[in-house]
Structure 1
């Protein structure tokens, strides 16, 4: 029986075919071919696609070997398509902390810049290592404090209150809240509108109260992209952005249409509604402000938190490391 594994017939046919076509093409380019005036006529006569021919033509001129004229293995190449190993390790490190793919991209972006993998790439990496689904252990890790220092990151958001919250007062009121990512210390102020100047003063008051009572100072603040917070192109002319510049606080923005990025403060709104607001009507705005202040003290100093292993935010604040680079006057 004939042994065909070492048969080079196909190899020789490919090489001879493409070498002949390359010689013919060179004559066409030099306008010396006796039959073809244009390259299009050359492609049409030999029944070859322009893109296919140029692929072999350029490959042959780059490599200069007969092997370049033989069909290559299809599919992505390791060095050109796969992310670097150190990036994979960072993705896996964050995933083992229970962080989802969108949050991983946001955490890596400041360090990797244009090398930051997309969410789909992060998913493929976690799938390759069997981490695409959170195990009970990873779910538990997710509940742990991502930020390890008090003041490392503050979450800031606005909340709309119901018009019937204050008896005989149809005015719409709002809340502006700041909550620390590490300790969960929180403070909120009642405002009558969400103009940037109003939000700036209420946020500054919250910063000062948290600093005076809990010695809490923020290095970064995370907000959504609302007009009351954000003016990335001209921060010096926006009241809230200018305040952060003056205090030396870095401003970070959430991913558009994804409130989960600011999840800690969103969870605080739910807790506040369940414990204080839902089903309650207050006699006056002053009464509501007093009740809110009492609840915030209870929330920070008495109420145990599941995310803090049953401790209060004040207890965690007293025992953890803190950011000391920024001082609010």
Structure 2
């Protein structure tokens, strides 16, 4: 990049124009002096006569008229379809009989972010540019809490197939036992545990319990304990985001939340909307559920509180720039020990 006093920057153009206009130099002499074309000298001299010193700066190359530009009404239809139906440029173009590249240019001109940069449920922008790796998050703890249930198969006494492998004697015994239970009409929930989660959007602080089922009574009681947990950390919950499970559509759940907590739901078949709790599920599977060999479900459950404490108080998150969730919570001194 040239400095401000280089030849034929605004300062150099001004010197050239003054030699021609004020001192009477010919175009050819000035062109030879500044090593430029005669047409260049003529252009800057003419601008100096018309606009003075202000005419020495670069002008926009944008044309004054756009004879082939789309009518404003069509551009508004493009933006409207993007906002209301979340269509991409190609689909909008086919619907309106336009070229996809034309639609893309209109969306860029109006500042419409890419669909993958927006929240599927609310349309809120969750990414600012291709270089920005930080996902969208709410500004303060408690603005939104993600609630979800993760169904996890129980580990049989003696270990499961993750530890011993498929087709082993232990694996065959487990299958036979489950088959007998199914024929006897035992409840399917007996073969699973249900992890109920509540994850704060801003801090990623998580409250989680291993429970026996996903009924509405269980979910409601869990939320009461989760709310007390967040309150103890100085967090006032303002909104809760859940999927469309039956327990979250019940009147009991709405009554438990109360009028002061807004209930938001994810779009059907779009788990990305509840992305932070889905990421929490992935983390616990990798770092707790299948991180080591457990000989029973009781052994794995006993390790969960310690792992959860580590997650909240000591585990650094890349999305938090290496901080732990408790570092972003207005907690009391010494609470994050």
Residue 179 (structure 1) aligns with: 199
TM-score (norm 1): 0.55
Q: Tell me, which stretches of 5 or more residues in structure 1 are unaligned?
A: 1-74, 92-100, 102-115, 232-237, 320-329
- For 1:304 and 1:188, the matched residues in 2 are separated by 19
Residue 134 (structure 2) aligns with: 143
Distance 1:153 1:137, change over 3 A: closer
Render the CA deviation track for 1:261-304: whole Å, top value 9, x for unaligned: 00000000000010000154545655444421111111111111
Secondary structure in 2 matching 1:263: helix
Counting only pairs closer than 5 Å after superposition, residues 119-268 of structure 1 correspond to structure 2 as 119-120=86-87, 126-128=107-109, 132=114, 138-164=129-155, 171-212=191-232, 214-231=233-250, 238-245=251-258, 248-268=260-280
Contact 2:88 2:115 in 1 (8 A): no
RMSD: 3.6
Contact 2:142 2:236 in 1 (8 A): yes
- For 1:295 and 1:287, the matched residues in 2 are separated by 13
Number of equivalent positions: 210
- For 1:292 and 1:298, the matched residues in 2 are separated by 10
- For 2:257 and 2:315, the matched residues in 1 are separated by 30
Residue 20 (structure 2) aligns with: none
Distance 1:202 1:165, change over 3 A: farther
Contact 2:241 2:274 in 1 (8 A): yes
Q: CA deviation at 1:203?
A: 2.1
Distance 1:250 1:305, change over 3 A: same
- For 1:167 and 1:140, the matched residues in 2 are separated by 49
- For 1:208 and 1:134, the matched residues in 2 are separated by 35
Contact 1:196 1:229 in 2 (8 A): yes
Residue 118 (structure 1) aligns with: 85
TM-score (norm 2): 0.54
Residue 109 (structure 1) aligns with: none
- For 1:199 and 1:167, the matched residues in 2 are separated by 31
Q: CA deviation at 1:129?
A: 5.4
Contact 1:165 1:281 in 2 (8 A): no
Q: CA deviation at 1:176?
A: 0.4
Q: Tell me, which stretches of 5 or more residues in structure 2 are unaligned?
A: 1-68, 93-102, 118-126, 160-173, 175-189, 332-337
- For 1:277 and 1:225, the matched residues in 2 are separated by 25
Render the CA deviation track for 1:30-77: whole Å, top value 9, x for unaligned: xxxxxxxxxxxxxxxxxxxxxxxxxxxxxxxxxxxxxxxxxxxxx986
